[in-house]
Structure 1
């Protein structure tokens, strides 16, 4: 009788373990804003980032993770799994005075996840994908909760942009006081605690605005500066340290609630450091606004203890448009999307069932990269790059993009030029206007309330 009882107990435990393993994971995407490759300790930076460094040690370091060269396009590609060129958003962001928003016929990531049983789908932080109409609002794009700001470059203390409060809790203005990075982390912790009490898995998109300008830090976070230049550097470093510490609060909450093992944590930056900031691209060339590696190759880490073996570096070429198809693959969503995806699922590489996937990744503005080679065309890209002629790099060996090989590797050069034609031909019937268009005489709506 005792043996039978023991057998039943063991079988029950086995069933419980199988059920736990088969439960869909919680998903937490943590996005930094203008964080440079060289701003993190694990990539050789001088700013102390112990939390992100530990995440890199425990998780999988995505060493070849690419984004767009500027913010709104990356966020749009993340939400849709499609290159932002397809809906007219590649060269610039959506400024406060613009009525542009990502087309509503594009399906966003939380809309897909809703079909997979993700009841709670929160965006906490910076939106930047359209604010002039309710149809562009996060709560009309698949999210069930929104806390944060619609525009970019808000004041970290007053939470204002263009003189008006841009801080929201769902459709309402929020008058919460405090440093923006702290408030976003606190809200994330609050919601994780709430969502963890339910049976359904949750999805959270935690989009910090740090360390994007304006460069503002809490007084207690500053070291002792010696001069004006040093003050800017110290402010930026304090912003990065605050980001790191607040990510730590969120990750510690997962651990405290015993949901760390079955929560996917994906961390990355939306592009490289801004050229007007004291940030760093480290060993990479270039910055935000360029298709050099320093502008589009982002620090990125993924961790999922229940399914993915951490403590390693992955060299698979991947990036922002792959996030959606990878998560849909993991969530078991097999329904074909209405709009064909540009991204691919890299889950087979993450879990070790494939050693790699050969593919070309479009960086926009006449730039293409694959596992070995990178081509940047002259004339298509931002003038800040000052390219007089095309350049070809063996990027697997020349991470700093120092030696142009187009004149010696002519076959590869011609092949990539041909492939680029397809991507460069992508056009949209609607384009975001140039950044300054409509700025003169613009008056922000009261507390950035969206009514139409």
Structure 2
């Protein structure tokens, strides 16, 4: 006769509670944080180049998954479009130029953004911090009308880091309201994002989209970051490139010289250190909140570095604005404590159009419209992804091994610096890549942006309500 073992009631309750907690943990939607650096080159982070001072990014890369083959568009606005829609910007005629202050138009309002998608998945708090750059000529392009629930930052690119001016007007806002705040733009954005994280509810998932304007021109760094990078006030200062000072005048005065170091590269490096420091504030907020195990953080650059303004993409060829690897292969790291094995390098082909489908699936979103990207979670976990092609724009297309650009074929598995055209040696592969490119080029439509009338000036404080009322 078998003995019946009596299990204490308390133990049964404990087992049930643990099972319930485990089910809750498995079903809980992750917090999502996307952080974009502006014009950060492949050779401009400490984990690629020990001369760069980026301790927070270095630690982040050591704990996360570094994406070795992550592709973006070669300039700012197009990458943001692809990231937020999962679609190539060519579909909207917005691949080859950024949305400038004098442009009328923006990301088409019929398109759903990642923020819109996450809203349907139960993410009540969807905040954007920093640079928008997707349209400021009408209220309908405003982030709060594109799926986000709060906005803190600037509409345009290339603002003065200290005065926050662009085109002679102050471009700094909280939601729809212009605000005046003292401080270095990257630092302000980092602190505001960290505050949002600290004040978030543990019971509700959040989405934070953080778009730093650094280290994009104009060349301006904080004094403390210049000193870390060897600045010597007794030594001369090189003249910095660009005319942003003329565009960003405050009451007619050019203040662009503030924050410049001894050399262009030193100034740029100090700006990168400033971005790293602001990113560190975000990481500290996540750790202090105790939510690292339920928060996925995706860091990337919007394109390669601009060598004109001090960036470096070595050993890759090319720079921002080109479809060579130095323009489109971006620094990117993904971290999710306990879910992704840290300290790994993912070598599978991935890109900016994959961010929306991947994060939408993780969030449990339903009825997602077709995108040009795909869910790459398996790639983040070190698994092989199906063979595919990514469109780089113009004459560029890339696969896991091959790349076609400007009519030349490169074997990236042996030649990541694109030194040798192997089209004649691999005619079949060359033909496949040409066919893939021809298919992508059918997506391209003309640029729909138009310019404001000659002599146009933005309203005081870039008040979008005034811009819309002028129509």
Q: TM-score, normalised by structure 2?
A: 0.89
Give 3-state SS (helix, strand or coil) of 2:403's partner: strand
1:444 partnered with 2:461: no
1:375 matched residue in structure 2: 404
2:237 matched residue in structure 1: 228
How does 1:289-438 map onto structure 2 within 5 Å?
A: 289-337=321-369, 340-351=370-381, 354-377=383-406, 390-428=407-445, 431-433=448-450, 438=452
1:183 matched residue in structure 2: 188
Q: Which runs of 5+ in 1 are unaligned?
A: 378-389
1:258 matched residue in structure 2: 290
1:163 partnered with 2:168: yes
Give 3-state SS (helix, strand or coil) of 2:36's partner: strand
Task: Show CA shifts across 1:336-382 (max 9, x none).
Answer: 41xx3101110133245x422211000001100011000013xxxxx
Give 3-state SS (helix, strand or coil) of 2:435's partner: helix
What is the CA-CA distance between 1:409 and the residue it aligns to?
Answer: 1.0
2:243 matched residue in structure 1: none
Give 3-state SS (helix, strand or coil) of 1:132's partner: coil
What is the CA-CA distance between 1:138 and the residue it aligns to?
Answer: 0.2
Decide whether the 8 Å contact of 1:349 with 1:357 is kept in 2: no
2:215 matched residue in structure 1: 211
Q: TM-score, normalised by structure 1?
A: 0.93
Give 3-state SS (helix, strand or coil) of 2:213's partner: coil
Partners of 2:129 and 2:274 in 1: CA distance: 17
Task: Show CA shifts across 1:99-153 (max 9, x none).
Answer: 1211111111100000000000000000000000011000000000000000000
Equivalent pairs counted in the alignment come to 433
1:384 matched residue in structure 2: none
What is the CA-CA distance between 1:429 and the residue it aligns to?
Answer: 5.9
What is the CA-CA distance between 1:176 and the residue it aligns to?
Answer: 1.2
Match of 1:128 among 107, 130, 133: 133
2:144 matched residue in structure 1: 139
Deviates more, 1:136-145 or 1:246-255: 246-255
1:202 partnered with 2:245: no
Decide whether the 8 Å contact of 1:21 with 1:306 is kept in 2: no
Max Rg structure: 2
Task: Show CA shifts across 1:167-188 (max 9, x none).
Answer: 0000001111111111001110
Give 3-state SS (helix, strand or coil) of 1:40's partner: coil
